[in-house]
Structure 1
Amino acid sequence: MPDDPAAARGIGRRAQSDIYRAGITGSRPAAPVHPDALEHAARKALSAEAFAYIAGGAGAGRTMAANRAAFERWQVWPRPLRDVSERDLSTTFLGRTRHTPLLLAPLGVMEMAHAQADLAVARAAASLAVPYTLSNQASFPMEAVADAAPGGARLFQLYWSASDELNASLIGRAEASGCEAIVVTLDTHLLGWRTHDLDVGYLPFTRGLGIAQYTSDAVFQQLVRERARTSGPAPSVRMTPKTVAAGISMARKTAPITGVGVREGLRSPLPRAAVETFLDVFSTPALTWDDLAKAREWTSLPIILKGIVHPDDALRAVDAGLDGVWVSNHGGRQIDASVPTLAVLPEIADRVARRIPIVFDSGVRGGADAFIALALGATMVALGRPYAYGLAVAGEAGVREAVRNVLAELDITMGLAGLTAVSDIDRQALREVG
C-alpha cells in the first residue's frame, strides 16, 4: 500500500467486502470492530496493571469523558444524490502527500500490550501508509523500529529531558534514523495524577519498561555510569515475588548498559541506577518557550508542539516559527477536568488560519470522529488507544485492523456526506447540536 497512492481509495467498501466474504467461512475479524467491544477485548487480554496504564486517565476521568462528550455536540449532514463513486482520502502534511489524514499518536510502553510492541505497530502502520509517531517511551530503540518497517513514515516524539545533552542526542538519532519531524510533548513536565495507576501502585518505568530509547543512548548510558559510581548502596526493600520480578525486569531491560545477562545484572548497581537516572531526567517543570529555540540548533527537521490546547499558545507557536501544533490533552491522562480538545479546535484553527498544520487527538475512537475533527480544522487526526487495544488483542494484525477500520469508516462517512475528497471536508458538513 505505501507504494500505491490509489490504494486508500475505496478502503471503506473494500474493508466491508473483505470482512463479509470471510464471514461466509465462519471467520471473524482479528480485533472487534466496535470501539467498545475492542476495549473490552483488550481488558481481557491485558494484565490489570497494563490495562490501568493504557486505558486510565487523570483524577476521576472527567477529561476523558469530556473528550468523548465534545464529539456529541456535532452531527454529520448526510448529502445524497451526489456522485461519490470515486473518493480520495489523500492530503498534504509536512510538505508531502499522504494517502490518508490519519497518523498514529505516540504511545509508550507498548510491550505491556504485546512482546513485539513498537515493531508490530510500525509494520502495521507502514502497511497502511499511515505515519507512526514513535514514542520517547518506546519498548524498542528507534533504530530497531526503522529496521522493522523501513518503508514506513515516522515522526519522533520527544519528552523534553532535564539534560539538554540527552535531548540533542535523541533528536540527532531520530533524524539519522529517518524520522520526518520532531514532536515535542509539552504537557508532561509533571506526571499527571493517574488514579488507576496509583490504585495498583504501578509505574512501568520503575521496572525498566518503556526506556529503550534511553538505555540505547550513549549520553544516557554515561549519566547512568556516573550515578552508579557516586550512589550509595541500594536501600533495603521487603522481598516479595513482585520485588524479585521487578528486579529481573530491570536487569533484563538495562542489558544494553550493563552488557551482561539477567543473573549478572541482578548483582550490578547499573539497573537500579538506570531507572533512577531516568526518573530524574525524564522531564523538567522548568521548560519554557525560550528553551524550544535550542531544538532548532539540534536539528533541521520540522518541529511540532504537542499538548497545545489554548488558542493563544497556538498563535504563539505560529509567531515563533514552529512547523505545526498538535492539539491534545494527552488523552485525558494529565489533568482531570481539562478543556476537551475538540471544544477548542475550531478557535485554534481560526487563529492558525492554515499557516501551519494542526494535528488533533484525544477522544478519537472511529472514522466519524476523524471526519468531525477534520471538518473543524484539523489537518491530520491522530489515533491512540484503539491501536493499543488492537495490539493487545491480536498483535500486528490487530493494529492493522483497528487502524483500517477507522480509515474505512472515515471513507464511508465522507461518501455518505456527499464528499469525495478530504479537502472538501469543512464545517458546512456538520450541524452543531443545541
Structure 2
Amino acid sequence: MASTVADLLCLADVERAAAAVLPADVRDFVAGGSGAETTLDANRAALDRVFLVPRVLRDVSECSTRAQLLGRPYRMPVALAPVAYQRLLHPEGELASARAAKAAGVPFTASTLSSVTLEQLTAIGGSVWFQLYWLREPGRSLDLVDRAADAGAEAVVLTVDVPWMGRRLRDVRNRFALPDRVRAAHLDGRPSAAHRAPSGAGSALAAHTGAAFSPALTWSAVAQVRERTRLPLALKGVLAPEDAVRAVECGVDAVVVSNHGGRQLDGAVPSADALPAVVAAVADRCEVLLDSGVRTGTDVLRALALGASGVLIGRPPLWGLALAGERGVRHVLDLLAAEFKDALGLAGCTDVSTATHLRTMRATP
C-alpha cells in the first residue's frame, strides 16, 4: 500500500487502500450490490465499452473543466452523490465530505439518512443539495423539503427507485447493523431497528428502511414536492425514457440516470447504457445527470459525450473518507479533476460544451 494518501494515483488505488483498513462488514456495506451483483458489475463494464473518438489539431492550451449543474457554476461537472451514514467511515462523516466538496468547488448531496444534520452541512458554506426519500408519512417528507429550503440547500434530489431496500446479500450475511454512535440525524436521531442485529438472517438497515420508506411512492409525490418548493428538483433513479418524459411533464429540472449503484434491482440496465435514450427522450427540456459506476475522469468525459450534463459519484469519496477524512475525500476529487482535464484536452476539447459533441463508439460485449 502507498505510504501516504498523496501516493495513491487513481481512485482504484484509494479503494484498495481503504478496503484494507476497514472492518469487513463496513467495507461490504459500501462496496456491495443487490442480489448476485450483476448490475453492480455491469455498470463498470458498460462504461468501459464506451470509446471516445478524439479530435486533433485543436488548440487546447486553455482547457476549462467548469460547468453548470442545476443552474449554478462549478469547477467540474461532478457532484457528490447522496450516501447514508458516513460516520460509519470516519468520526466527522458528512462534515468532512462536505468540506472537501466545498474546497473542490463541487456540490455535496446530503442524504435523508445522513448522520449529520443538513443545517450543520450548509453552515460549512459550500453548495449543498438535499436528497429526499419518500417516507410512509408524506407530511414528514414535505417537512424535510421545507427544512432543506430553510437551511439553505440549493436543490432537492428525490430518489424514486427505493420503495424498499434491495436485497443486499453481503449485508444479510454479515447481519449488518449500525453502531449506536451512527444515527439518522434527519429522522428521530435515536437508536432504531437499524441498530439492532436481526434475530435471524437479514440486514438491520433493510428492516429500518422497510419501516420508514413508503412503497406507495408515485408520481403524486413528485407533484407534491414540485408544488412545495421553488428549489431545483431532480429525480434520481430514472432509467426508462418514458419515465424521463413524465418527469419533464411534472416540471422537474433534472433526471439522474441511475440504478442506485447496482444496489436496488439486480439485473437492471447499466446506467451508461440507459443514458442515450433518456437524453433523446427529454430533448433538452431538463438536465440529465449520470451516476452508477463512475470511477475515472474519462468516465466523466464519456458521460458528457453520451449527452449528460454531469455525473454524481458515490463510493470513491467514501473510500477517501475512510482513509483520511476530509483530506482523503479531497484527494479523490483532486484526482478526478486532474483525470478529467487530461481526458478533455487529449480528446481535443477546450471546455465541457465541446465535449458534448464528441463521437463515441461501443465495443461489442
- 1: CA distance, partners of 2:116 / 2:358: 43
Which residue is 2:101 aligned to?
A: 125
SS of the residue aligned with 1:339? coil
Whether 1:153 and 2:143 are equivalent positions in the alignment is no
| Alignment counterpart, residue 211 of structure 1, candidates 176, 184, 198 | 184
Structure 2 CA distance, aligned partners of 1:47 and 1:394? 15
After TM superposition, the runs of 4+ consecutive aligned structure 1 residues lying more than 4 A away are 275-281
Shift of 1:40: 1.4
Q: Which residue of 2 aligns with 1:178?
A: 152
Letter in 2 for 1:344: A
1:165 corresponding residue in structure 2: 139
Which residue in 1 is equivalent to 2:201?
none
Deviates most, 65-74 or 291-300: 291-300
Which residues of 2 match residues 1-400 of structure 1 at below 5 A?
A: 28-30=4-6, 32-147=8-123, 149-150=124-125, 152-204=126-178, 207=180, 209-215=182-188, 279=209, 281-400=211-330
Measure, in 1, the Cα distance between the counterparts of 2:233 and 2:74. Answer: 18
Corresponding pairs, count:
355
Could you say what the CA RMSD is over the residues aligned between the two structures, in angstroms? 2.4
Task: State the alpha-carbon separation in 2 of the partners of residues 96 and 405 from structure 1.
Answer: 23
So what's the TM-score if we normalise by structure 2?
0.91
Q: Against the structure 1 CA distance between its residues 280 and 375, is the aligned structure 2 distance closer, same or farther, given a 3 Å change threshold?
A: closer
Q: Secondary structure at the match of 1:362?
A: coil
* Counterpart Cα distance in 1 of 2:300 and 2:183: 28
Q: From the superposition, tell whether residues 359 and 203 of structure 1 become closer, same or farther in structure 2 (CA, over 3 Å).
A: farther
Q: CA deviation at 1:167?
A: 0.7
Does the CA-based 8 Å contact 2:222-2:250 persist in structure 1?
A: no
- Give the Å deviation of 1:89: 1.2
What is the deviation of 1:278?
5.8
Q: Is this contact kept in 2: 1:30–1:397, CA < 8 A?
A: no
For 1:189, what is the secondary structure of its paired residue? coil
TM-score (norm 1): 0.77
Other-structure match for 1:407: 337
Amino acid at match of 2:245: L
CA distance in 1, matches of 2:219, 2:250: 9
User: In the alignment, which residue of structure 2 is the partner of 1:416?
Assistant: 346
- Larger Rg computed on CA atoms: 1
Instruction: Identify, as 1 or 2, the structure richer in helix.
Output: 1
Percent identical pairs in the alignment equals 40
SS in 1 for 2:79: strand
Q: Deviation digits for residues 327-361 of structure 1, max 9, x if unmatched?
A: 11000011211110100101111111111111110
Compared CA separation, residues 164 and 208, structure 1 to 2 (3 A): farther
Is residue 131–residue 159 contact of structure 2 (8 Å, CA) maintained in 1? Answer: yes
- Which amino acid counterpart does residue 276 of structure 2 have in structure 1? P
> After superposition, what is the alpha-carbon deviation per residue over 1:104-145, rounded to whole angstroms, capped at 9, x for unaligned?
100111111101000000000000111011111111111111
Structure 1 unaligned blocks of 5 or more: 1-25, 229-233, 235-245, 250-274
Give the 3-state SS of the residue equivalent to 2:358 in structure 1. helix
CA apart distance, 1:282: 2.1
